Amino acid sequence: MPFMEAVDAGSSERALVARLQAGDASAFEQLVRQQTPVLLRVARRFMKSEDDARDAVQDAFVAAFKSIRNFGANAQLSTWLHRIVINACLMRLRTQRRRREEDLEDYLPHFRDDGHQVTPSQQWNETAETILERTELVGIVRAEIDQLPDTYREVLLLRDIEELSTEETAAMLGITANAVKIRLHRARQALRTRLDPYMRGVQ
Amino acid sequence: MKCEEFIAFLADYLDELLPRETIARFELHLAGCRSCTAYLATYRETILMARNAANAARLDVRDAPEELIAAILASVR
């Protein structure tokens, strides 16, 4: 973004925040219209049903409206709302979590006594670039992410897709940074195993 | 280094968090093990695929429905 545009964007955002903090209803409507499409896309990645995704976005705006007075002068609205909607999704997922957390063990590599893999790994024919041209593979990747147990799926979404730091992810989930690292590594390995037949082109 | 240790170190290797001495042992194993070379490549692809699949979904933008916007505005009034 050219410098002057960035300055303009910054000052118009500060003006919007000031109006929001003053309780201006039209400012809130502007914010809702501007940010709902973006937040809904984030929520759809976390929530498996469209209704749940919409409810999470609504929860997020209610939370944002309540805490707009605490919004810091140096913060960015979009970043702030991104974190709030993720939190709203995580809270909804927590209350919905009834399914027994299945074990990932089957999808992790197994080793012989000499430390080598029981089944040697093979290269893939598909790459992250080529799958973009293949709508059905994009669908498969998304479906396989959805199949991961929630505690692993959440870490994968936060770290690899929403691109939050290990520390921020740990704070959001209320777990240690080390637990985030362990879950992320296991989630990626499980997803790798689940994608393997498709990406080698044997399924 | 054996495959088991190699795979345990993988995430830290990609995040450049391994001590120099461990990187040397890691890369020595990598140079001699086809299975781990494939594992590293496909592990890295998995991360990119997850991200790309999510971003591709961003392309099929369905606009935020007006009824949702109306419900949000009603809920905070």
Tens of pLDDT, residue by residue over A54-91, are 999 999 999 999 999 888 877 899 999 999 999 999 99
CA atoms within 13 A on the CB side of A7: 3
A58 in Cβ contact with B72 (< 8 Å) = yes
pLDDT confidence tier of residue A27, bands split at 50, 70 and 90:
very high
Contact A145 B51 (CB under 8 A): no
In this complex, the residue of B2, B10, B63 whose CB is nearest that of residue A115 is B2
Range from A1-15, A17-31, A103-117, A151-165 carrying the lowest mean pLDDT: A1-15
Give the rounded distance of the alpha carbon of B2 from its chain centre.
23
Cβ–Cβ of A37/B63 closer than 8 Å? yes
Residue of A nearest to B67 (CA): A54
Alpha-carbon distance of A90 to A79, in angstroms, equals 17
Structure confidence at residue B56 (pLDDT): 80
Residues 57-76 of B with CB under 8 A from A: 57-58, 61, 63-65, 68-69, 71-73, 75-76
**What are the start-end ranges of the H helices in chain B?**
3-14, 20-32, 34-59, 66-76
> Smallest Cα–Cα separation from A186: which of A122, A82, A81, A107?
A107
Q: What's the mean pLDDT in A143-155?
A: 93
Which one, of B40, B48, B35, B38, lies nearest residue B13 by Cα?
B40
| Interface residue B49 vs chain A (CB under 8 A) | yes
β-pair partners for A117: A111
Reply yes or no on whether the pLDDT at A5 is more than 80.
Answer: no
Residue with tokens 């870490």: A155
- In angstroms, rounded to a whole number, what is the distance separating the alpha carbons of residues B47 and B55? 12
Per-residue DSSP letter, B65: P
Under 8 Å CB pairs connecting chains A and B tally to: 131
User: Which regions of chain B are under pLDDT 70?
Assistant: 57-63
Pick the residue from chain B with its C-alpha nearest to A27.
Answer: B73
The total of other beta-carbon atoms located within 10 Å of residue A44's CB is 22
Asked whether the beta carbons of A130 and A198 are under 8 A apart, the reply is no
pTM to 2 decimals?
0.86
> What pLDDT score was predicted for residue A28?
92
The confidence band for A102, taking pLDDT boundaries of 50, 70 and 90, is: low
Q: How far is B27 from chain A (nearest CA, A)?
A: 16
